[in-house]
Chain A
Amino acid sequence: MRFSAVLALIFLVLSVLIPSLAEAHGERAQQPALRMRTVEWFDVSVSTKQLQVNDILVVKGSFVPSNYWPEHVHSIEGASYLNIGVPGPTFVRLDSRINGTPGIRSTAFHKGELYNFEITLKARKPGKYHIHPLINVESAGPVIGPGIWVEVTGSEAQFTNTAKTLLGQTVDMEHYNFGHTVAWSALWMLIAAAWIVYWLFSRRPLIVPRFKRVSELGQDADAILTPTDRRLGLLFLIITLSVTMGGYLYANDRWPITTPLQTGKVHTPPAVQAPMPLEVTMGEARYRIPGRSFRIELTVSNKSDRPLSIGEFSAGNLRFINSKVLDIKPTDEDDLVAPDALRVEGSPIPAGETRKLVIYADDAMWETQRMTTMIASPDAVIAGMLFFYDDQGKRYYAEIGGPMIPVFG
């Protein structure tokens, strides 16, 4: 116990000395096609950015699985799970809802459908964390959403977490009957240790003389065994069987009501999407590498009765904002928002008209977030979400996608 106390102390000292902030979650390593063509995340927010151990943090947002999901990536329509990207249980997850359906079990999400999520977390360990919502897709791995920095202060030792069983007991999740678990494990280890000590340490020297004697005896090597050996064999067999059966009966008596582990896949109904009175098709999309500039031609039909402007283009969690329409600032130094990086030619689109537009998404983020490696993809197709606003600020969105041509000069 003293050893473990010393270890814990050293870790504690180190964790105080070294600033405890956790970095982003490696989304930059994922191929750009995977980032742009899997899940379109938007409106991701946290309820607070400063909290104490035991405080509640709610992570909210929406996502639409992309219609341009790559053929070579296992589909989100198979098995998927809304998760949270924090380094280990620095938070515990008290609740998770997708369109109101509990996100405890695995589910499937459908391409082009809207899902609003809300994850309730309770802070467990102090530190600064980059919190991402993410979706684990079976055989495809994690699809990561936007990250937001959150700082937790306080003491980990103060953390509490309980659950109430259907039998009315309150369970301390941090130390649930752990003394009982250790005692039971230790009992078995002691019985085994007695057996090992008898055989290894009751005769010295052991190995060489025994090896020599067994070799000499050959077929008759069993003669080396003594009656005491055999009697002990029988005794330990009886002890083992008795402890096993006794333990089983004791457990059945102490916990008479148990259920098997619960699993299964649930259906999560998509949210009802407001009608989108517009149609968008993507024409030519060229990415100019030296200028870090994406030029995309669009044909937009405005079927609403108000003029529409493009306020934002979002691709692979990078958000390019048209400052003439929207005033959005990054929430922290790692928020991938370029507040004035979207230039639109031909906007706004008058009500009832179909127009050709050109958008330019120009920002160094393409480079710093390693999206430019899209030119190394054998499937040079991009996708992204366009957000339109009418003159009253009402928002509509539409996903675009198609082939991309790099411009090298």
Chain B
Amino acid sequence: MTAAVPNDTAVTTTAEQRRSYLQFDMLIIPLVVLLFMGIFSFHFALLVGDWDYWIDWRDRRWWPLVTPLAITVLPAVFGYLLWDKLRLPLGGTLTIFCLSLAAWISRYLNFHLLANFPMDMVFPSSYVGLGLLLDCMLLLTRSWFFTGLIGAFLVGLLIYPMNWPILAQYHVPVEMDGILMTVADVFGFEYVRTSIPEYLRIIEQSTLRTFGEAVTPLTAVFAGFINIINYWFWIWIGSLGVKAIWIRKIV
């Protein structure tokens, strides 16, 4: 359906050709960066949202399960574009880097300056290493199948340990009014959120029945498993997204 190859050309020398190519670099690279910052923030806000906004939502059971599922979508979809059309193993790192950058800017402007929360309660988690895992795995295996099987599994598995250096300090126990709390829970109670009452927190309410305190590793393995299928699914969507389809009219 593409137009016929023109008989004439817009460039006559390699210097001109290079100049044109550079123009498109300058147009396309910032465009994808801005799109990734926008789409990923929007997608992540509406699927993970509060789990990443508030320190007292990053629990052992739901946060490490919901987050990898949402965070793998763009690396897979745009990873397909960047790898299949350009052989750039950047889908994971670049998209998540853009998300993280946008998240820091937004938390500072919105949750800190506008809504007045201290930054140590509303900072975003660190996810960009997960993108590196996917990209390195894709580069080394050059296979969607193995990147899903190993890389996407590692994304689910490692999201918790990757963030533990930051989160651990918030899980130090505190006693308040005769109740056991963590530092994170104290933030949630003290810094008033008028429309986010305590019951709205979707966090672990009991340990797993027979695995006791092994909630974190078991959740990690489960998240890794679902994320394999999740990655493959979104790779397929990515393969549809890059189709250069032309139609005659809107039907």
Q: Is the CB of B24 within 8 A of A207?
A: yes
Contact status of A191 and B164, CB under 8 A, knowing A181-B120, A204-B22: no
A260 adjacent to B182 (CB under 8 Å): yes
Top-10 shortest CB links A-B:
A205-B21, A136-B197, A81-B197, A258-B171, A233-B139, A106-B199, A237-B136, A248-B161, A102-B177, A89-B191
Contact A240 B129 (CB under 8 A): yes
The distance from the CB of B220 to the nearest CB of chain A, in whole angstroms, is: 11
Return the chain A residue nearest B137 by Cβ.
A237
Count residues of B near A (Cβ-Cβ below 8 Å).
Answer: 93
Interface members, chain B 69-111 (any A CB < 8 Å):
84-90, 93-94, 96-97, 100-101, 104, 108-109
Q: B207's closest neighbor in chain A, by CB?
A: A260
A221 to B84, CA, bound (A): 9
Contact of A174 among B25, B60, B87, B118 (CB under 8 A): B118
Question: Complex: how many Å from CA A178 to CA B165?
Answer: 12
Q: Chain B interface (Cβ within 8 Å of chain A)?
A: 18, 20-22, 24-25, 28-29, 56, 58-60, 84-90, 93-94, 96-97, 100-101, 104, 108-109, 113, 115-120, 123-124, 126, 128-129, 131-133, 135-137, 139-140, 142, 158, 161-162, 164-187, 189-195, 197-201, 203-205, 207, 215
25 A-B pairs (CB sep. < 8 Å)? A7-B109, A84-B194, A87-B194, A89-B115, A89-B190, A89-B191, A93-B190, A93-B191, A106-B197, A163-B183, A165-B173, A166-B172, A175-B120, A185-B166, A189-B97, A199-B88, A200-B90, A206-B25, A215-B85, A225-B87, A236-B132, A243-B129, A259-B173, A261-B59, A262-B185
B182 → chain A, closest Cβ, in Å?
6
Q: Which residues of A contact B195 (CB under 8 A)?
A: 136, 142
Option from A105, A134, A175, A254 in Cβ contact (under 8 Å) with B118:
A175
Interface residue? A169 (CB, 8 A): yes
- Which residues from chain A sit less than 8 Å from chain B, CB to CB? 4, 7-8, 11, 79-81, 83-96, 102, 104-106, 124-125, 134, 136, 138, 142, 161, 163-167, 169, 171, 173-178, 180-182, 184-185, 188-189, 191-193, 195-196, 199-200, 204-211, 214-215, 221-222, 224-225, 229-230, 233-234, 236-237, 239-241, 243-245, 247-248, 250-252, 254-255, 257-265
Asked if A214 and B172 make an inter-chain contact with CB atoms under 8 angstroms apart, the answer reads no
